[in-house]
Chain A
Amino acid sequence: MKKNLLFLAGAACGTALLLGGCANSMNTIEPAGTVAQRQMLTDKRLITDTGLHRHVQPIGINTATGPGGFLKVQVEVQNTTGSRHSFNYRVEWFDENGMIINSPMAVATSRTIEGGETLAITATAPTDRAKDFRIKFIEAK
Chain B
Amino acid sequence: MQTSLRSLPLLSIPAAGALLLLAGCSTPATYVETGSSQLVVNVGQINIQDFNQAADVMVASLIDNFINAGQCKSSVAGEPALMAISKIVNNTSKQIDTDLLVKKIRIALNRTGRIQTTTTMGLGGAEDPLAADQQKAQEFFEDKKHVRLPDYTLSGKIIEERAKSGSIRQSTYSFQLSLTSRSGVAVWEDAKEITKQGSSSTVGF
Q: B60 touching A124 by the CB < 8 A rule?
A: yes
The answer, yes or no, to whether A131 is at the interface (CB within 8 Å) is no
Contacts A108-B36, A108-B37 given; indicate if A72 touches B104 (C-beta within 8 A): no
Q: Which residues from A are CB-within-8-Å of B64?
A: 66, 70, 72, 124
Task: Name the interface residues of B34-88: CB closer than 8 Å to any CB of A.
Answer: 34-38, 49, 52-53, 55-56, 59-60, 63-64, 67-70, 72
Q: Mark B12-51, 1 if CB is under 8 A from A, else 0.
A: 0000000000000000000000111110000000000100
Which of B52, B67, B69, B113 makes the CB contact (< 8 A) with A107? B52
Task: Name the interface residues of B88-128: CB closer than 8 Å to any CB of A.
Answer: 104, 107-108, 111-114
Q: A123 touching B60 by the CB < 8 A rule?
A: yes
Q: Mark A100-141, 1 if CB is under 8 A from B, else 0.
A: 000111111110000000000001111110000000001011
The answer, yes or no, to whether A90 is at the interface (CB within 8 Å) is yes
The residue on A at minimum CB distance from B70 is A67
Contacts A68-B70, A72-B64, A140-B37 given; indicate if A105 touches B205 (C-beta within 8 A): no
The answer, yes or no, to whether A86 is at the interface (CB within 8 Å) is yes
Q: Which residues from A are CB-within-8-Å of B69?
A: 66-68
Q: Which residues from B are CB-within-8-Å of A110?
A: 37, 53, 205
How many residue-residue contacts, CB under 8 A, span A and B? Answer: 82
Q: B104 touching A105 by the CB < 8 A rule?
A: yes
Q: How far is the CB of B32 from chain A (nearest CB, A)?
A: 11
Contacts A105-B55, A107-B52 given; indicate if A70 touches B205 (C-beta within 8 A): no
Q: Mark B178-205, 1 if CB is under 8 A from A, else 0.
A: 0000000000000000000000001111
Q: A127 touching B53 by the CB < 8 A rule?
A: no
Q: A105 touching B68 by the CB < 8 A rule?
A: no
CA distance A106 to B205 in the complex (A): 16
Interface of A is mostly: loop
Q: Which residues from A are CB-within-8-Å of B104?
A: 104-105
Which of B59, B72, B108, B112 makes the CB contact (< 8 A) with A128? B112
Q: A88 touching B37 by the CB < 8 A rule?
A: yes
Q: B68 touching A69 by the CB < 8 A rule?
A: yes
| Most chain A CB within a 10 A radius of its CB, from B37, B52, B67 | B37
CA distance A106 to B34 in the complex (A): 10
Contacts A68-B70, A126-B59 given; indicate if A90 touches B112 (C-beta within 8 A): no
Which of A86, A105, A128, A140 makes the CB contact (< 8 A) with B56? A105
CA distance A107 to B204 in the complex (A): 13
8 closest cross-chain pairs (CB), A and B: A141-B204, A66-B68, A68-B68, A110-B205, A107-B35, A67-B70, A70-B68, A107-B52
**8 chain-A/chain-B pairs, Cβ below 8 angstroms:** A68-B67, A68-B69, A103-B108, A106-B35, A107-B53, A108-B36, A109-B53, A110-B205
New contact pairs (17) apart from A124-B63, A127-B111, CB-CB < 8 Å: A66-B64, A66-B68, A66-B69, A66-B70, A68-B63, A70-B67, A103-B111, A104-B104, A105-B59, A105-B104, A107-B49, A107-B53, A108-B205, A109-B56, A110-B53, A128-B113, A140-B37
B interface residue numbers (CB < 8 A to A):
34-38, 49, 52-53, 55-56, 59-60, 63-64, 67-70, 72, 104, 107-108, 111-114, 202-205
